[in-house]
Amino acid sequence: MNPLSYFLEYNRYLSFVGIAVILGLAVLMSNNRRNIPWRLVLTGLLLHASLAFLVLKTTIGYEIIAYIAGLFTTLYQAAERGINFVFGNLANPAGPWGFVFVIKVLPVIVFFGAFTSLLFYLGIIQFVVQGINRLIRPLLGTTGPETLCAVANSFLGQTEAPLLIKHYLKRMTKSEFLVMMISGMGTISGSILAVFAVMGVPATHLIAASVMAIPATILIAKIIYPETEHPDAMCDATASIELQSGNALDAISQGTSDGMYLALNVGAMLIAFLALLEVLNGFLGFACLTLNTYVGLHLPIITLNMIFSWICLPFGWLLGFTGNEALQAGQLIGTKIAVNEVVAYSEMLHMGLSARSIAIITYALCGFSNFSCIGIQIGGIGSLVPEKRKWLSELGMRAVFGGALANLLSAMMANLLL
């Protein structure tokens, strides 16, 4: 097949337009357009495309990524031993109560709190931060801690990954914070990846999307909030930090306590934000009913989900879909942002889409970029560094839309290669 025929097939050529639109939207959201690091953006795009080709077009690339993901999955399986002992049959999602978030997810945060505290006491985290800083800094110009967090988010998730760099958080700039937040919004954790795979979402594309999100989230974050400060971590990633733990057991004990406090904050924020979103949908519905009754209009009952489905419809076309499939793709992307990716994936699997369409939409939905996750990050990261909780609330909306743009960028790349 010649190149022209290839790009006309499935309307692949539209994804080039889609990539330009995504970058344009990020520029519009930028707080400092004059200082956008275009070298980083171009390098990030090249790295993103290279990773996409590696994981989608080569066997060895996928096998390496699957192996790495398997290591992280092993950690979650270790956490489940403690969860099963404490909660017994309640931890079994096959029971009539199904998957219970507070039992299956929040205790994992406690385990990772202890595990990462031990790693920090042993000096392993500091070593990894320094190594990543030396490897990635010449390519993207990012610091060790923000890059490590972006990489870790692709497997650990937005609440566990910041634990890896919790001792660096106080010294990080706003730009570094946004990288951490967008990489958390633009990825999913290994445990949730396993849940989606069990649901029927293609595991191959979930893993590929997780890896491709690393450069995508970094470049989008640096467009939206360019670095204009002089990060401490950039100058001195080898800075020694005074250990607060006297020995390994003390480190585990402190990490467990930190993880418990983090888990409680995450649970509380989720309850509050999901409830407030439901209140907002109630107000929208009430407004529609009022206008229909007293003004004589014939409006449908509008929800936040419906609004974002309309807004996201153009992305369905830019992903090469036509007709009803374009409408369905826009609806799913809107659902992912307004509600969450779990609901979006569940709806996707019941729409009767083709295998190729499911694969491409999998990339577009493979992230935690929804409004309730602002609460998770404020509660989770904010508990680690309370003095910068205000930054988390200020950057929350940028993080949601930045994560969604990073997911869509990966979907555009997937459409070009599948």
pLDDT digits (tens, 9 = 90+) for 205-261: 888 898 899 899 999 999 999 988 877 655 444 434 455 667 888 888 888 887 887
List the beta strands (DSSP E) in 320-407. none
Quick one: which H or E segment has residue 251?
helix 248-294
Judged against a pLDDT cut of 50, whether residue 354 lies above it is answered with: yes
List helix spans (H) across 186-247.
Answer: 190-199, 203-224, 232-235
Judged against a pLDDT cut of 60, whether residue 352 lies above it is answered with: yes
Contact 304, 338 (CB under 8 A): yes
Round the average pLDDT of the chain to a whole number and report it: 84
Judged against a pLDDT cut of 80, whether residue 20 lies above it is answered with: yes
Residue 135 to residues 129, 138, 155, Cα–Cα distance (Å): 10, 7, 20
At residue 1, the 3 state secondary structure works out as: coil
Degrees (nearest 5) of the Cα angle 67, 73, 76?
160
Cα 158 versus chain centre, distance: 7
311-331, pLDDT tens digit by residue? 888 999 999 998 889 988 998
Q: At what angle do helices 355-365 and 203-224 cross, to 10 degrees?
A: 40
Largest CA distance in the chain: 72
d(CA 114, CA 191): 18
Residue 116 to residues 124, 190, 346, 382, Cα–Cα distance (Å): 9, 16, 33, 17
Contact 304, 277 (CB under 8 A): yes
